[in-house]
A and B are shown apart, each in its own frame.
Chain A
Amino acid sequence: MPSAIELDRRAYRRKQSVRSALLSCVSLIVFAAAVWLALARSEGWTRVRETFFSPRYFIESLPVVLQGLMTNLRVLASAVAGVAVLATLIALTRTTISPVLFPLRALATVYTDVFRGMPMIIVLYLIGFGIPGLRIFGRIDSTLLGTIAVILVYSAYVAEVIRAGIEAVHPSQRAAARSLGLSHSQTMRIIVLPQAVRKMVPALMNDFVAMQKDVGLVSVLGAIDAVRSAQIMVAKSYNFTPYVASGLLFILMSLPFIHLTDWYAARLKRREQAGGAV
């Protein structure tokens, strides 16, 4: 049985938490009402509501947009696989020391500089219209071209995440491994990479979330994905609700993973504060 002093402290803390919960509710209601009033009293609200939030067009467009979203999912799956391979290769190339590999190292550096700097949409245009223009491969599916562009851009980012993860492993770990007689590549494989992977997981998850929405950009090449399907419907009806529907679907698609990322980051933080495993 806790002492009277502790019971008093608990009662006080309980009272405080009820008070702050009530305050949050009131604050939320006031805030929402203010936003609602501002919208509803604006001159064009009725027209905006009709154009962007029409229930009729929403229901009508949902199955079409959902079908388009399947294209996005396919692009996403192939792109994740492609990025995993290409980004690891680039990152490892950048951490090599052999003089023979200097040209590859230089190429990898230029690659990450170029593709991190160039706007995604330009890459999409260059790949989407440039490669077919070469007339080597015959007709190429625009979805495939879009996937290639996404892989090229995201590999540059992910390669840098991997490289940063490798460099974040403390040099003393490398020193300890080398002084046991392990070679450079053994040190990399057995000591550095396993520790680096843990360090880069949060950043990689974040890049994956960004990629989930950027696969919507393949629509500019004419691939019939969620965005493009919505666009076609908009062109027929002049009602923008299909865009909202497709945006909503993208959000729904990313929510599980966003929360997985948050959960993982929180777990890492707890472990570090507990002084636990790396």
Chain B
Amino acid sequence: MIGVNDSNESRGNFAGIQPLLRFEDVHKTFGRNAVLRGVTLDVMPHTVVVCVGASGSGKSTLLRCANLLETVSDGRIFLNGEDISDPRRDQDTVRRKIGIVFQSFNLFPHMTVLDNVTLSLRKVVGMRRIDADARGMELLRRIGIESKARVYPDRLSGGQQQRVAIVRAIASDPELLLLDEITSALDPQLVGEVLDLVRELKSTRATILMATHEMSFARSAADEIVFLHNGVIEESGPPEKMFGAPEKETTRAFLERFD
């Protein structure tokens, strides 16, 4: 669904292709607390990049910086080669190109499920309600809850709410999808249905940057795993390398606990 084009590079070979998202020596401090201390990272088109790391390692902050919910303290962030950390750039335009899903769903409780999904189509894209509703119903059908289109979000299970939040984020076809610990607030038996949806998005060649604690998912679905430790990238690489033969002792010690 997201930014499907005809580039047919094999995984890991991106010579000459521009990253969709690039962090360049990004720093973020809250008061005296340095959360990100120089992160440089490329997210290539049509890849799934998974950030792992202990709580407080800076995963969420990195994602929130990417769609400008947080202002970086230093360094730059590029989307399609354009510096989006430049305060002179219109933030609303940038955010339109980036979808984000949060740990706590953040559906709008005063709107029906369908209205949640179609909000950006109606108010940002400027689609007519009838067209937006058709597209919204199509998305709800995809996640199998079109029968709940007219109910309010509090009638849905956590897993259903989070899947609605995901289709809400992709409704207006953003180029990049950020997933911020989207399964952390869910009961274990609901995690699977949400992760299955992410796998499906991957199969439609979406570009995804996500933070998660679901190691088995990271291992099977990620194109690249990024291990954040104390606000810097300790090590990164494809899952086979990160889980099979990590270079750093800290990486091995962290990932070992999930095996």
Contacts and interface: CB of A to CB of B under 8 A. Distances in A.
Interface of A: 172-173, 175-183, 186, 190-191, 194-195, 198, 275-278
B106 A172 contact: yes
Interface in B60-114: 67, 69, 91-93, 95-96, 98-100, 102, 104, 106-110
A182 B152 CA distance: 21
A190 B106 contact: no
Contact of A181 (B69, B104, B124, B152): B124
A175 B110 contact: no
Interface in B134-162: 152, 154
B119 interface: yes
Contacts of A186: 123
B37 interface: no
Given A172-B104, A275-B154, A277-B154, A182 B110 contact: no
A277 B120 contact: no
A182 B102 CA distance: 17
Contact of A180 (B91, B119, B154): B119
A175 B69 contact: yes
A6 B44 CA distance: 67
Contacts of B92: 178, 181-183
B108 A191 contact: yes
Contact of B120 (A181, A194, A275, A276): A181
B119 A190 contact: yes
A118 to B, nearest CB: 37
Contacts of B120: 180-182
A172 B102 contact: yes
Given A186-B123, A190-B123, A276-B154, A179 B108 contact: no
Given A175-B69, A190-B119, A180 B104 contact: no
B172 interface: yes
A172 B169 CA distance: 15
A175 B120 CA distance: 14
Interface of A is mostly: helix
Given A178-B91, A195-B108, A278-B110, 14 more contacts: A172-B104, A172-B106, A175-B69, A175-B106, A176-B102, A178-B95, A179-B169, A180-B99, A180-B119, A180-B172, A181-B172, A182-B92, A183-B92, A186-B123
Contacts of A172: 102, 104, 106
Contact of A179 (B67, B93, B123): B67
Contacts of A181: 92-93, 95-96, 120, 124, 172
A172 B64 CA distance: 12
A179 B67 CA distance: 7
Interface range, B side: 20 to 34
B168 interface: yes
A183 B93 CA distance: 10
Contacts of B99: 179-180
Contacts of B93: 181
A278 B119 CA distance: 19
A180 B152 contact: no
A195 B110 CA distance: 7
A91 B154 CA distance: 30
Contacts of A198: 110
A173 B172 contact: no
Contacts of B119: 177, 180, 182, 190
B69 A180 contact: no
A174 to B, nearest CB: 10
Contacts of A190: 119, 123
A182 B108 contact: no
A167 B106 CA distance: 16
A200 to B, nearest CB: 14
A178 B168 CA distance: 13
Given A172-B102, A275-B154, A277-B152, A179 B95 contact: yes
Nearest to A176: B106
A180 B106 contact: no
A195 B152 CA distance: 14
A32 to B, nearest CB: 47
B131 to A, nearest CB: 17
B109 A195 contact: yes
Contacts of A277: 109-110, 152, 154
Contacts of B98: 179
Contacts of A194: 110
A278 B153 CA distance: 11
Nearest to A175: B69
A14 to B, nearest CB: 37
